Amino acid sequence: MRKPPPINLATRDGVPVEKEDKDSFILLSDPDVTLAELEAVDAVLRSSRLSNGPVAEAFEEAFAGYVGRKYAVAVPSGTLGLLIALKAHGIGSGQDVIVSSYSLRETQHAIRLAGAMPVFSDIDYWAGTLAPEKIEARLTNRTRAIIASNNNGHPAAWAALRTLAKKHDLVLIEDSTEAIGSKYQGALVGTFGDTSIFDFSQPSPLTCGEGGMVVTDDIDIAVALRRHRARREDERSSVVIGATAPYQAGMSDISAALGLAQLKRIDEILERRRLTEHLYYKHLKSFEGIKDPYVAPDVTEVNWLLYVVHLGTRFSRSGRDAIVEDLRIEDVEAVAYSNPLHLQRHYFDLGYRRGDLFVTEKVADRAVALPFHTHLTEDQISFIVATMKDASINVGAGSAIY
């Protein structure tokens, strides 16, 4: 079997590469970390404050400025960010939330953690995001909110979603945990929801290790977010019992320092990832059995989380899994992009079954996430695509794209 070309680098972006990093295994994601990030974290480690310090606040201020929102609240993860956002909007037991089942991340688990009930609605076949025209049939007098995700970096249909939310007086929450830097109708993601959620864990282009951010323009929501997140340092000695039991869900200054350094470089990081995207397109465009990522007409710019390709309709889910396994045998880390939430055990116990969301299942069964990061070489991308082509011929030669 062919083996991928090795990475022969003594340093990576000025950072020494450990021996085990030089082998031939091609990783699904690999953070774009330079000396700037290492120095920022080192400065915090040498300081007297590792948590509840000024760096997390500086990261919040800088991130709010980057997105163009008035307030930003740093949290340990996108899931906890969505949980406190739901709490801040008063969403909980006895209420329904419309959400997509199709996603790499499982931020939507926060709905159940908040005590509310997820009501899964189907997606657009091409974009992979919630289809606004399918949501209305799922609404009841229990419905309180819509959570729409910018799946794998592709913005949802925000104009139609906002119209729908306004018509039915629903809270609109934007899940941008996979989409930092993408744009819809010229505006950055993170600006479309009443509240918007970001996640900074790998494979996000902006990586803190673990971390997230909740943004909003509503001061009352911002105050509630902070109240649910954690007590301030100057409140800890108070004997007055507050009305809210906080989750102690703050971000350490170590994570914030890494995030702040990455935010200063975000345009550079995204541009380097676009070069990787172009190389994938160059090598994929000649193969009719694999469809490269789709971009909707209203979408100005997509910054993909991973490079997700779609197999032809005659491929089965088992065929997709066989391709992923063949890639792993050839030392390429690839995964099924989504195991739809409504087919996972917890939601299966709520009554969902295969066949409930036809488009979600059809797309998810044939979506493969390929390695996508700034350290990939063209030789490696060529090898990944060639290996996938060989594997796909073995399990479904000549399959149609659509």
Closest by Cα among 353, 134, 50 to 146: 134
Phi-psi region of 353 (alpha: psi -120 to 50; beta: other; left: phi over 0): beta
The pLDDT assigned to 8 comes to: 41
The pLDDT assigned to 238 comes to: 58
Spell 43-60 as b/e; 16+ CB within 10 A means b.
Answer: ebeeeeeeebbebbeebb
Token representation of residue 388: 């996938």
Count other C-beta atoms under 10 Å from residue 373's C-beta: 21
Q: pLDDT (tens digit, 0 to 9) for every residue of the chain, 402 residues total?
A: 455 554 444 445 554 444 344 468 999 999 999 999 999 999 999 999 998 889 999 999 999 999 999 999 999 999 999 999 999 999 999 999 999 999 877 888 999 999 999 999 999 999 999 999 999 999 999 999 999 999 999 999 999 999 999 999 999 999 999 999 999 999 999 999 999 999 999 999 999 999 999 999 999 999 999 999 997 666 665 555 466 888 999 999 999 999 999 999 999 999 999 999 999 999 988 676 788 899 999 999 999 999 999 998 888 899 999 999 999 999 999 999 999 999 999 998 889 999 999 999 999 999 999 999 999 999 999 999 999 989 988 776 444 444
The pLDDT assigned to 392 comes to: 86
DSSP string, 194-223: SEEEEE-BTTSSS--BS-EEEEES-HHHHH
Mark out the alpha helices in 89-218 (DSSP H runs): 109-113, 132-135, 158-167
CATH 3.40.640.10 fits 35-264, yes or no: yes
pTM: 0.91
Query: Which helix (DSSP H) or strand (DSSP E) does residue 347 occupy?
Result: helix 345-348
Class of domain 11-25+266-396: alpha beta
Q: What is the pLDDT of residues 275-300, one digit of tens each?
A: 999 999 999 886 767 888 999 999 99
Q: What is the pLDDT of residues 31-45, one digit of tens each?
A: 999 999 999 999 999
Question: Could you tell me how many residues make up the chain?
Answer: 402
Cis peptide leading into residue 54 (ω within 30°) = no
The pLDDT assigned to 235 comes to: 60
Domain definitions of the chain by residue range: 11-25+266-396, 35-264
**Strand, helix or coil for residue 281:** helix
Beta strand 15-16 pairing with 183-184: unpaired
